Amino acid sequence: ITFIIKGQEKTVDADPGQTVLEAAQKNGIPMESACGGNGFCLTCKCHVRKGADQLSAPNEREEAMGVTGEERLGCQTKVNGDVTVELE
């Protein structure tokens, strides 16, 4: 996963099936998770810049939170391949 944070890129490894949030936390990326990764707070929201087809499909929590289009919740989105996401 390549994270874009305030214009700076940082690429980290994620295990297949790991969430964007789990990979961020494991690698010291400052993705917030006020609700503890349960899909209720939006602090882990990110924007997919590349590789949307390598992510799990949006789930019910994301739909309930109104996350649409290139927006995803890092805690609900699993990674299957190379992606680039930008943090807010």
Binding residues for ligand FES, per CB under 6 A?
33-35, 37, 39-44, 73-75
What is the nearest approach in angstroms of ligand FES to the Cβ of residue 4? 18
- Beta carbons within 8 Å of 84's beta carbon, 6+ residues apart: 1, 2, 3, 4, 9, 48, 49, 50, 51
- With H, G, I as helix, E, B as strand and everything else as coil, classify residue 37: coil
Characterize the bridge pairing of strands 84-87 and 71-73: unpaired
CB-wise, 18 or 43, nearer to ligand FES? 43
Residue 2 vs 43, nearer CB to ligand FES: 43
Q: CB-wise, 40 or 52, nearer to ligand FES? A: 40
